[in-house]
């Protein structure tokens, strides 16, 4: 017999008991000499009524307790009472079953929530949540790493990463995207792709902005394109110049052994052929130097002490540029700083930058000097600054100096800075040009 049948049976006999008590009480009222019986009958009526009332209210109390447990999230409440009888143990089991089902569902939903939260938190692409009042909340570890130093929460506070970046945060609507230049905490400029989607939260519409850095992809494509171009050009030029160089050198040797007999025409022809041979050799050397930048540098990373590396760099530089010719300043902050890079390739980059700076500083005037500084970056990595007190590099040419074939030197090949950039990019780093506090140019390398 289920709860309903047993509850009805208990209700029926309690009602019969109440009716019997009422009948006895009525009978006692009809007999004038039964005062004690009347009192007993009245007590029986009261007891039967109270028992019936409690029996009926007991169901309500259990259901109310069940609802309160749900309301306050008490999934540990228990309703099963085997000793209750009258079918209430079945009611308790049913309520306990409901609590267990709710507890299991809540646990499943919590697991699902943690799963999706972990997905969002570990996404490699930073997310920003912008509410209708233009409050911005970084979402996920990537966003907290990228914008961790930000103290504000408004869109305008993000102007420190670039005015264009903050403007896009404010203006972009769901479904739109925009390519924008963003300045990171370390002063590094990079291109990022912003995409916007709409989500609803507590009845209001929010915008989710993905900030996808694409500078590395752009750099990789650019370097690959340049390498392919240089490879094709050098191949074609070498094929064309090899016979020219060979014939020019042969002709020069023949003319050198010929007796001109005082004939000025033959002497002029000899000089012309020798000039042609020298220029052909120069072109071949020029083309051969460009073959270097068609090969992607292979990075062999090592962890080494920055101070010792800087001292070795000083010795290499001063072998060609002694201290009485040009000043050299070295600083490492902190002194215990470590570098994670290919020491040979990094030395090649820095020596090239220092020599370029020395040339520029020496041409500028008296007291030429260069400086190199190693700085540890919070969260890992390093910044390397190379300065000189030369004339500097004009703003309009800074985007060109890393291009192959571009040089400002009369005898330059345009290989050094292009190769330096390739090496830095192969380290997953960046290199940029700024104005130096010394008055010349500053090359900032972030690894």
For the chain, which residues make up each domain, given as ranges? 3-116, 124-213, 217-294, 302-446
Q: What is the pTM of this model?
A: 0.53
305 near 338, Cβ under 8 Å? yes
* pLDDT score, position 154: 83
pLDDT given for residue 100 in this prediction: 76
pLDDT in tens, 2-25: 445 565 666 666 677 777 777 777
Q: What is the DSSP string of 375-438?
A: EEPTTS-EEEEEEE-SS---GGGTTTTTSTT--SSTT--S-HHHHHHHHHHHTT-EEEEEE-TT
pLDDT at residue 276 greater than cutoff 80: no
> What's the CA gap between 14 and 12, in Å, rounded?
5
pLDDT in tens, 201-244: 777 888 888 888 877 766 666 666 666 666 666 666 666 667 77
Listed in sequence order, the DSSP H helices in 122-214 are 141-147, 163-171
Is the pLDDT assigned to residue 416 strictly greater than 80? no
Report DSSP state, residue 130.
E
d(CA 446, CA 183): 13
Q: How confident is the model at residue 85 (pLDDT cuts 50, 70, 90)?
A: very low
Tell me the per-residue pLDDT of 353-385, one tens digit each, with 9 for 90 and over: 888 888 888 877 778 888 899 988 776 778 889
What is the per-residue pLDDT for 17? 75
CATH topology of domain 302-446: Heat Shock Protein 90 (3.30.565)
State phi, psi for 230 to the nearest 5 degrees: -65, -40
CATH fold group of domain 124-213: Beta-Lactamase (3.30.450)
pLDDT score of 314 = 86
Tens of pLDDT, residue by residue over 278-326, are 777 766 666 665 665 556 667 888 888 888 888 888 888 887 878 778 8
Nearest to 308 by CA among 287, 351, 337, 286: 337
Report pLDDT digits (tens) over 106-149.
778 888 888 877 877 777 888 888 888 888 888 888 888 777 76
Separation of alpha carbons 214 and 192, rounded Å: 5
Cis peptide before 160 (omega within 30 of 0): no
- The pLDDT of residue 68 is above 60: yes
């Amino acid at each position: 017999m289920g709860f309903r049948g047993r509850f009805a049976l208990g209700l029926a006999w309690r009602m019969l008991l109440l009716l019997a008590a009422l009948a006895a009480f009525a009978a006692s009222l009809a007999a004038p000499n039964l005062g004690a019986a009347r009192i007993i009958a009245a007590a029986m009526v009261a007891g039967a009524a109270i028992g019936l009332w409690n029996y009926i209210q007991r169901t309500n109390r259990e259901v109310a307790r069940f609802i309160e447990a749900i309301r306050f999230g008490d999934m540990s409440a228990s309703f099963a009472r085997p000793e209750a009888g009258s079918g209430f143990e079945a009611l308790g089991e049913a309520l306990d079953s409901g609590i267990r089902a709710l507890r299991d569902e809540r646990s499943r939903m919590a697991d699902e929530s943690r799963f999706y939260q972990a997905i969002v938190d570990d996404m490699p692409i930073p997310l920003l949540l912008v509410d209708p009042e233009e409050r911005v909340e970084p979402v996920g570890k990537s966003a907290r790493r990228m914008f961790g130093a930000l103290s504000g929460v408004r869109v305008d506070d993000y102007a420190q990463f670039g005015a264009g970046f903050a403007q896009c945060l404010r203006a972009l609507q769901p479904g739109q995207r925009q390519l924008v230049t963003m300045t990171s905490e370390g002063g590094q400029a990079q291109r990022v792709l912003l995409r916007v989607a709409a989500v609803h939260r507590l009845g209001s519409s929010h915008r989710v902005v993905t900030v996808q850095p694409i500078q590395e992809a752009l750099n990789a494509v650019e370097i690959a394109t340049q390498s392919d171009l240089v490879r094709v050009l050098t191949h074609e030029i070498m094929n064309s110049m090899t016979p020219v160089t060979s014939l020019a050198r042969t002709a020069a040797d023949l003319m050198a052994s010929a007796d001109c007999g005082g004939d000025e025409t033959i002497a002029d022809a000899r000089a012309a052929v020798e000039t042609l041979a020298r220029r052909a050799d120069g072109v071949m050397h020029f083309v051969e130097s460009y073959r270097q930048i068609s090969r992607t540098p292979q990075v062999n990373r090592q962890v080494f002490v920055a101070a010792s590396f800087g001292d070795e760099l000083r010795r290499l530089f001063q072998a060609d540029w002694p201290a009485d010719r040009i000043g050299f300043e070295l600083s490492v902050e902190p002194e215990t700083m470590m570098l994670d890079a290919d020491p040979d390739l990094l030395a090649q980059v820095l020596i090239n930058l220092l020599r370029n700076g020395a040339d520029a500083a020496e041409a500028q005037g008296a007291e030429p000097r260069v400086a190199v500084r190693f700085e540890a970056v919070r969260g890992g990595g390093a910044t390397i600054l190379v300065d000189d007190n030369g004339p500097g590099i004009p703003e309009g040419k800074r985007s060109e100096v890393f291009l192959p074939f571009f040089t400002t030197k009369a005898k330059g090949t345009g290989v050094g800075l292009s190769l330096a950039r390739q090496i830095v990019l192969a380290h997953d780093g960046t290199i940029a040009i700024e104005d130096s506090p010394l008055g010349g140019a500053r090359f900032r390398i972030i690894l």
